[in-house]
Amino acid sequence: MTSTTFKALQGFLWFICAFHVIVGLSLNIPLVPLQTIADYYGARVDWTPQFLYIVKPLGAFMLVLGGLACVAARAPLRHGAIVYGFVALFTIRALQRLVFQQDVSTAFAMAPARNLGAMVVFFVMAAALLLLYRRVQRQALAPSR
């Protein structure tokens, strides 16, 4: 299948892959400076040894997520569980931004508008991924003309 929707889904999954791999590696090796990542998120971080250590396991999770996104990008219809997993992840991350907005603001000196903007981005990513995947599924099941 090579429809525009299919290519958009694959492109989105490759983006998810690249983002997670780059951030995951950067949390463990100096691929991208940690301050650059913090700036991207709009967070002010106290780089204590304890905090620097705790981001390393997070980096491992990010690397694995990047690998799973790679698998899904190569054959999205065969790996729907991975796609739905990312939809769930982005939805949960959006809800966390909402539920824990005061904690985020206090801990990382993040402006509430920036936090809510990130929440919207996560919801949009979840919805876009779900809609793209479902459309590709329908196209694959539709009888050929």
Tell me the per-residue pLDDT of 41-57, one tens digit each, with 9 for 90 and over.
889 999 999 999 999 99
* Tokens encoding 49: 């040894």
How confident is the model over 2-56, as pLDDT tens digits?
799 999 999 999 999 999 999 999 999 988 899 999 998 889 999 999 999 999 9
- Rounded to 10 deg, the angle between the 80-99 and 112-141 helix axes is 160
Query: What whole-number distance in Å separates Cα of residue 36 and Cα of residue 74?
Result: 30
What was the pLDDT predicted at 1? Answer: 61
H-state helical runs in the chain:
4-26, 34-41, 49-74, 80-99, 101-108, 112-141
| Distance separating alpha carbons of residues 104 and 40, to the nearest angstrom | 15
The reported pTM is 0.92
Q: Where are the domains of the chain?
A: 4-137
